[in-house]
Every structure is written in C-alpha cells, then in structure tokens.
C-alpha cells in the first residue's frame, strides 16, 4: 500500500471533520463544555461545599441494590424539574382586567383611553376598517353570535359540561366502598352466620324455633328472599349517594363501563348496545354479591360440620 | 391416621393458598429480596458498576477543582477520560440490566414450576375429592348440589343431559359433598372479601367531602382590556 501524500491526508481529515459537523459532533462537544446539556463537565458549584461529593470520596456505597442502580435516571434531574416548573408557569392564563366602559361610542379615530396603559382594540379595528360596512354591528353582537345564538343559559359554560371533579369521584368511591363493606358485614354477621348455625345445629339448640325457619329445605328460599331485600336496600342507598354526588358509580369504577361509554347508541346492528352493556354490568354486580354470600354459606357449613 | 391420610390434599391445598397469599401481600418487598440473592453474574456487574461510578465521580471532583482557563490541557484530558468512562459505565449498566432480567426470568420459571403448576395439577387431579359432606342434603337445589359435588363441569353438562332426557339427579340424594375445586374457589372468594372488609373498615383513611366550587360567572361589559 502506497503512502498517502500530504494533500490526500488533509483531504481525508477534512472529510472526517465535515462528517462530524454534519452529525452534530462538534456542537455537542461545545455544548458539553459550556454546560448547556446535562452531565456537563462545567459547573459553577464548588465541589468542596457539597456533602454528596464528600460521601463519594469516602468509598463505595454497598447499600444500593441492583434495582435502584437500574432504575436510576441518567442525566440531570434537577434541570428537568426546573423545566417542568417553567412550562407550568408559562401555561397559566395571562391576567387581564376588564374595565367598565363610560360610553360605548366607537368613533372612527382611535381614542385615547382615560386609564393609562389600556387600549380599545375594537375601535382601533373599526378605525382601520373605516365606514365601508355602513352601520356595522357592534362587537358585542359579534361576540354573542360567536357564543352560538344564545343556546347556553346564563352562567353555563358555552363550551359544554365541566369535567367531573376528581376529588368528588374519590370521595364517592370511598363512600360506595364503605357502604358495600358495611352491608356485607351486616349480612354476614347478623343473618347468614346465625341462620346457618340455627339450620345446621337445630337439634342441639336450647330453645325452640318455628319449624319453617329451621327446616333445611326452606333454607334456600329464605336465603334468596333475604338477599333480594338486602340488595334492594343496598341499591337504594347507592342511588341516594349517586344523586347527592352527581356521579354514576358504574361508569367511574368499572373499566368495561368506561370502554362501553365510547360505543355510540345508534348506528350499530344491535340497538342501544351501550345501555345493554350497562344493564348487564348491573346484573353482574348483583349476581357477584349473591355468589359471594353463597360461598360464605358453604365455608360456614364446613366449619360447623367440624365444630 | 385415616383422617390425615384422606385429607392430605386439603392440607397441601391450604399450604399453597397460604404461600400465594403471602407472596401477594409482600409484593412490594420482592425487588428488595431478589437483589439480596447471591447471583454471581449480578454481583460481579454491580461491583464493576460501583467502582466505575466512583472513578467517574472522583474525576469529576478533580476536574471541578482545576481551572479550565489555567489548566486547559489537563481539563480537556480529564473531560476525554470522563467521556470514555461514562460510555463504559453505560455498557456495564446495560450488562447489569440484562443479568437482572435473566435472573428475574429464572425466578419466574422457578415459581411456575414449584408453585403454580403443582397447585394446578392438584386441582385438576384431585378436584373432585370431597372435602366434607353438607350436614343437611336438601339445603340447596339439585342443580347447585350437583355443582358442589361434581364441580363446574356439572353446570356445563346439565343442559346437555336435559336435552337427552336424563334427569339431573346424578348426585346422591342422601349425601351432598363439597369437592376440593369448589371449596378452594369458595374459600378464596371469602378470603378476598374479608381482606376487602378489613381494608375498608380499618385501614382506609377517611376522605372528606370536597367543598363545592363556586363557579365564577364572567360577563363581558366592556371591550377594553388592560395590557400586562
């Protein structure tokens, strides 16, 4: 292989340099030096002041486990937090004060407003447009027309219903769970447990009870009747909470209901699919509570067999 | 002795249930426990990672102590060394991540082989083992009694039997038993419900009703706005 001449060497070096520039190599190195990217070598903090630096000079930290090492983020977290704060401050709506007018007289020439620093944009606009439109409509008429012809009621947001408050949803979930817990506890402790005991141990009871109550063949009928009454009371209470808090429990707690709410009610081969799905979910909820109580009965019977 | 020899299935099933519940309750500690296991590949990579990181930090501190203007050559040399060390550190971290993922997969397979599959086999092979007989045989309707004794398959086959004209009294009228599969299902459901009750009644912190937000009604009375 012949030796490369000086000019060829320079050419190769020049090409490499240009490739590096194109790939952004040079600017990334410059940014690193000037501290514009995380993990930069240039920092104005004194390492002697930081305690973290002193800890690391002492030795290896053996307490860190492998999952902490793997999950630790690379880069400067602090700059990410600062950026998030900056974005949050920018996204706040700008404050603007509305000054009550003294007169609604829009002259063609822009007028000097009485309060310094305030501007009358509409009159300026009109002045720019001139009187070519003739009478012209007042800007307030235009604004009202933009709101949709008065379809919204006063005080109501013209952009539709406000989203449900998350705090209210959490409170509603808490209340519904508490209701469910108390109703299960009441059913299990004050009906199922004593009734199963009475049916199983009817011969050993010190007192006498009516035969229709302790007859095992009537157990299931009485059990189902009680379940119907208890479930009705539970659902009535649930509806009261839902109307007080203005939240539909099923749509906020159930994932299937949330997905089903996206299904349109019309336009599909089966009509009212969404409503049917909600009804099925309601029935499943009732059935699930019934099945749980049946399971408790089975376990209790097993326990009483061995006692 | 016959009692214990007949019911070993029940005791084994209860042990499996207990282990599963224990694993469920301690799920937040699993990563901590796994990291303490003495896997050689992870131990070596972790040691190398910590050493390399210590080297990088030492060099970073040294570099910050010297002035870039006065000792530019040394400063640049340190920067180059740091860049090289950082690349090595990220490759060690990748190695460590792969080693940890491999070990996690191994532990998952171990759990499957030691816990999940045997429990499943027990339920399939001994699912019809009668755990106890109901004290009274006429407590439940015939369909339900059949399910308790024969399992869920009875429910699936019942319509077929009805179509064939066979009666559903496949179970003995004198004794209705609860099979292992049904008993385990019922027990798991009851345990889950008790967990829910304990959580809601004793462990859950109270949530106060939020105050209703007063909606401000903005009316536009003027077309003048104050500039910021």
Give residue-wise pLDDT tens across range A29-43. Answer: 676 666 666 655 555
Lowest mean per-residue pLDDT among A94-103, A290-299, B177-186:
A94-103
User: Is residue B212 one of the residues assigned to a domain?
Assistant: no
Q: Domain check: are B11 and B52 in the same one?
A: yes
Q: Domain check: are B184 and B80 in the same one?
A: no
Q: Domain check: are B132 and B109 in the same one?
A: no
Partners of B143 on chain A (C-beta within 8 Å) are: none
Q: Domain check: are B170 and B157 in the same one?
A: yes
Q: Domain check: are B56 and B100 in the same one?
A: yes
B114-B116-B120 Cα angle (round to 5): 120
Q: Domain check: are B20 and B111 in the same one?
A: yes
Q: What percent of chain A has pLDDT over 90?
A: 21
Lowest mean per-residue pLDDT among A229-233, B92-96, B137-141:
B137-141
**Gap from B161 CA to chain A (nearest CA, Å):** 24
Beta-bridge mates of residue B132: B178
Closest residue in B to A155 (Cα–Cα): B217
A291-301 residue pLDDT tens: 999 999 999 99
**Gap from A103 CA to chain B (nearest CA, Å):** 9
Position A116 pLDDT exceeds 80: no
Residue that is last in its domain, among B126, B143, B169: B126
Show which of residues 127-156 on chain A sit within 8 Å of chain B, judged by CB atoms: 139-140, 143, 154-155
User: Is residue B120 one of the residues assigned to a domain?
Assistant: yes
Q: Domain check: are B163 and B64 in the same one?
A: no
User: Is residue B223 one of the residues assigned to a domain?
Assistant: no
A187-214: average pLDDT: 89
Indicate the average pLDDT of chain A. Answer: 71
Phi, psi values for residue A108, rounded to 5°: -65, -30
Q: A197 at the B interface (CB within 8 A)?
A: no
Inter-chain residue contact A118 with B49, CB threshold 8 Å: no
Q: Domain check: are B25 and B122 in the same one?
A: yes
Nearest residue to A244 via CA among B209, B207, B201: B209
User: Is residue B226 one of the residues assigned to a domain?
Assistant: no
Q: Domain check: are B134 and B173 in the same one?
A: yes
Structure letter (DSSP) for residue B137:
T
Inter-chain residue contact B100 with A171, CB threshold 8 Å: no
Q: How far apart are CA A18 and CA A9, in angstroms?
A: 14
pLDDT value at position A93? 52
Residue that is last in its domain, among B98, B126, B154: B126
ipTM exceeds 0.85, yes or no:
no
User: Is residue B20 one of the residues assigned to a domain?
Assistant: yes
pTM: 0.64
Q: Domain check: are B7 and B117 in the same one?
A: yes
Q: Domain check: are B13 and B98 in the same one?
A: yes
User: Is residue B67 one of the residues assigned to a domain?
Assistant: yes
pLDDT value at position A57? 44
B80 vs A272, higher pLDDT:
B80
Local structure of A299: helix, strand or coil:
helix
Q: A31 at the B interface (CB within 8 A)?
A: no
Inter-chain residue contact A66 with B182, CB threshold 8 Å: no
Token pair listed for A23: 């790939």
Q: Domain check: are B74 and B142 in the same one?
A: no
For A262, other C-beta atoms within 10 Å of its C-beta total: 7
Show which of residues 70-109 on chain A sit within 8 Å of chain B, judged by CB atoms: 70, 74, 94-101
User: Is residue B210 one of the residues assigned to a domain?
Assistant: no
Residue that is last in its domain, among B126, B160, B180: B126
User: Is residue B222 one of the residues assigned to a domain?
Assistant: no
A263-286: average pLDDT: 81
Domain that holds residue B165: 127-205
Total domains, chain B:
2
A122-145 residue pLDDT tens: 555 555 554 444 444 454 444 444
CATH number assigned to the domain comprising residue B95: 1.10.287.660
Partners of B132 on chain A (C-beta within 8 Å) are: 301-302, 305-306
Nearest CB neighbour to A98, from listed B196, B225, B227: B225
Position B138 pLDDT exceeds 80: yes
Show which of residues 217-236 on chain A sit within 8 Å of chain B, judged by CB atoms: 217, 219-220
């Amino acid at each position: 292989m012949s030796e490369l001449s000086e000019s060829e060497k320079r050419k190769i070096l020049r090409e490499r340099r240009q490739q590096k520039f194109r790939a952004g190599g040079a600017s990334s190195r410059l940014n690193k030096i000037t501290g514009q990217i995380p993990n930069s070598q240039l920092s104005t903090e004194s390492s002697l002041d930081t305690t973290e630096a002193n800890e690391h000079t002492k030795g290896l930290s053996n307490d860190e486990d492998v999952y902490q090492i793997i999950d630790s983020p690379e880069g400067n977290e602090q700059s990410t937090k600062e950026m998030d704060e900056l974005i949050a401050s920018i996204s706040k709506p700008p404050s603007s004060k509305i000054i009550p007018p003294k007169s609604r007289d829009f002259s063609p020439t822009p007028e000097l407003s009485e309060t310094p620093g305030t501007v009358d944009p509409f009159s300026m606009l009109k002045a720019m447009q001139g009187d070519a439109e003739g009478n012209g409509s007042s800007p307030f008429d235009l604004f009202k027309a933009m709101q949709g012809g008065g379809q919204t009621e006063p005080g109501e947001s013209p952009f539709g219903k406000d989203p449900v408050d998350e705090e209210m949803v959490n409170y509603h979930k808490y209340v519904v769970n508490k209701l469910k817990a108390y109703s299960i506890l009441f059913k299990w402790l004050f009906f199922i447990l004593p009734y199963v005991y009475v049916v199983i141990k009817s011969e050993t009871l010190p007192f006498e009870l009516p035969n229709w109550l302790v007859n095992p063949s009537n157990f299931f009928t009485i059990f189902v009747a009680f379940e119907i009454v208890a479930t009705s009371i539970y659902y009535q209470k649930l509806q009261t909470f839902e109307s007080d808090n203005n939240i539909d429990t099923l749509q906020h707690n159930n994932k299937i209901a949330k997905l089903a709410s996206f299904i349109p009610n019309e336009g599909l081969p089966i009509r009212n699919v969404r409503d049917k799905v909600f009804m099925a979910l309601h029935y499943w909820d009732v059935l699930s509570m019934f099945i749980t109580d049946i399971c408790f009965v089975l376990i209790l019977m097993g326990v009483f067999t061995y006692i | 002795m016959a009692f214990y020899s007949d019911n070993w299935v029940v005791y084994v099933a209860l042990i499996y249930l207990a282990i599963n519940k224990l694993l469920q309750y301690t799920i937040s500690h699993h990563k901590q426990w796994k990291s303490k296991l003495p896997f050689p590949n992870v131990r070596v990579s972790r040691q190398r990672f910590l050493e390399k990181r210590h080297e990088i930090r030492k060099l970073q501190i040294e570099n910050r102590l010297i002035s870039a203007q006065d000792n530019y050559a040394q400063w640049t040399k340190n920067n180059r060394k740091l860049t090289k060390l950082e690349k090595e550190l990220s490759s060690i971290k990748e190695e460590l991540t792969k080693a940890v993922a491999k070990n996690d997969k191994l532990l998952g397979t171990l759990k499957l082989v030691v816990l999940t599959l045997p429990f499943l086999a027990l339920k399939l092979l001994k699912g019809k083992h009668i755990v106890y007989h109901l004290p009274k045989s006429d407590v439940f309707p015939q369909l339900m009694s059949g399910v308790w004794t024969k399992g869920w398959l009875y429910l699936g086959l019942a319509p077929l039997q009805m179509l064939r004209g066979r009666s559903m009294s496949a179970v003995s009228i004198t004794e209705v038993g609860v099979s292992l599969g049904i008993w385990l299902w019922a027990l798991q459901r009851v345990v889950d419900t008790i967990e829910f009750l304990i959580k809601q009644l004793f462990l859950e912190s109270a949530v106060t009703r939020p105050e209703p937000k007063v909606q401000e009604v903005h009316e536009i009375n003027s077309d003048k706005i104050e500039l910021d």
